A and B are shown apart, each in its own frame.
Chain A
């Protein structure tokens, strides 16, 4: 700036039009890049999975039967149990995490004293920051031996419910244990979003409920929960999306199997898509990688839809 003479600085526009235009173009390009990247993800996966459809079908079915030990020869037969396992584990994790997170969110927003609440928010964020591989390590080495007596008790006394049919596997590298770990992992996501929405409840509605003589819980039921309903639903969907795509914790804990089975306490029943990719990938040949990428594409589509619905719900609620 100082190198310009005074008159030049006054007659020339500061900066210049070209820099302005370039900057605008770069900003637009980066915005559009998001669209391009998402399209590229879908296209590249589709391209790599293409041999499944157009390639030699005999070779395909041979690869798949190698993966499954001859149980299935068709891609949909292969991806079916995996999809079932993925949805089962994630849904269980969501069921476990849902009530606990709503509880924590209410505790932070309406029960805890102000100072404690801020500290607690940090603790919840801390839970979110721990890498999944550490949850896997902890789940595999600490939780698996520790939780067996509990599952054993469940199998013994609640075994008449089909999903808890015993005997409980020992070590319990089962769907139930994985669901507990995944629940811990998605807890912070659901909690922090629900907490934010609960804290926005109109103060007047809360006070009106209390003034009519409602107890604290009745106030929450009358004012807070109806207000936060859509936010909570969307938070749960996001948590579900995270659980669907979780790889390491499942890979390190679950003893895999390829069945449509609801026996939560028995090992080698189910496997998730993400963990299956990570497990099979190192030993897969070229066609095998194509099959795995095909399953990855299925996972991508499902998480995309779940996340999309979640965001649409939030959008409608805030609009």
Chain B
């Protein structure tokens, strides 16, 4: 043994983990694994419960009559002359029109804002602020959006103005940030080669953007917009104060109160029970408001889920082919 290589003798046994220590570590690992799986199961319970109860309670009253009549002429728990118990036709029309109004406002603005951020901004200070504020805007409470639309229309159209378009304005406030975010993501992944090839051919910036960039990103933008619609179509609170509630069908977006599906669900829920005359026959149902609420909730959930599905399918099927 060479003399220079005499290091201190290390007692490696000192570092050997004791058996109980290893076991404790393994136990902890197992415990965390169980907890994590448990967390997942816990989260599944409410989801399944929500879907299950909505479907089970909803199908009871969900039929053609429910979908093709409004609430006009519905008295207490009595059957209407059409043989049903009132329906959601007016709410479906209201939801479609108000959401369409919100789309018309927010999708062009949202896309153009994304175009500004991606194509024109060049990381300027202004664009930085706008990006941050779009993020912040997506967190605005929906009821504040409702209050905003309400106060704005009270100034323009006199106090107490309530119409469907007011609801559209409130919803578009919630929808714009979602559209901007998703469109921005989509525009960002359009390959720069495409833009440069277009510029090299002498095409102006506007034409490059509309004919090349937006066209390439179209599927992503469409899917993002559909998901944004799915988000606002279930909004209740802002519509409660801007679009109001009515029992009959109103097809005019710009005047008069308008019912939407979520508001309908809430209104039926808050009715609790319907009155029946003392000697009513079996066709008079006292629990009909809750049953109507569940049925309308089922319609709403179906609409939202179908929209989500379409949005995801569009994104998947027509996805932009980037360079891997």
Contact = CB atoms under 8 A, between A and B. Distances in A.
B7 interface: no
A169 B247 CA distance: 35
Given A274-B143, A277-B143, A304-B136, A252 B39 contact: no
Given A126-B308, A129-B305, A215-B26, A134 B54 contact: yes
Contact of A40 (B53, B152, B180, B236): B152
A137 to B, nearest CB: 6
Nearest to A245: B141
A212 interface: no
Interface in A279-319: 281, 286, 292-293, 296, 299-300, 303-304, 306-308, 310-312, 315
Given A40-B148, A47-B151, A125-B308, A217 B141 contact: no
A138 B47 CA distance: 10
Given A34-B133, A130-B234, A217-B32, A103 B40 contact: yes
B129 A104 contact: no
A292 B148 CA distance: 12
Contact of A130 (B176, B180, B207, B301): B301
Contacts of B138: 307
Contacts of A126: 47, 305, 308
B98 to A, nearest CB: 14
A141 interface: yes
A306 B139 contact: yes
B301 A217 contact: no
B144 interface: yes
B44 A107 contact: no
A24 B204 CA distance: 11
Given A30-B113, A215-B25, A14 B144 contact: no
A113 interface: no
B33 A120 contact: no
A133 B236 contact: yes
A79 interface: no
Interface string B36-47: 111110111011
Interface stretch (B62-70, B79-87, B117-125, B250-258): B117-125
B305 A131 contact: no
A242 B139 contact: yes
Contact of A41 (B173, B234, B241, B269): B173
A284 to B, nearest CB: 10
Nearest to A296: B147
B165 interface: no
Given A26-B112, A31-B116, A136 B266 contact: yes
A208 interface: no
A99 B127 contact: no
A14 B33 CA distance: 63
B148 to A, nearest CB: 5
Given A41-B148, A133-B262, A311 B206 contact: no
Interface of B: 25-26, 28-29, 32-33, 35-40, 42-44, 46-47, 49-50, 53-54, 108-109, 112-113, 115-117, 119-121, 126-127, 129-130, 132-145, 147-148, 151-152, 154-155, 159, 173, 176, 180, 202-207, 209-210, 230-231, 233-237, 240-241, 262, 265-266, 269-270, 290, 293-294, 297, 300-301, 304-305, 308
Interface of A: 13-17, 19-20, 22-24, 26-35, 37-38, 40-41, 44-45, 47-48, 99-104, 106-107, 111, 120, 123-127, 129-138, 140-143, 184, 187, 191, 215-218, 220, 238, 241-242, 244-248, 251-252, 274, 277-278, 281, 286, 292-293, 296, 299-300, 303-304, 306-308, 310-312, 315
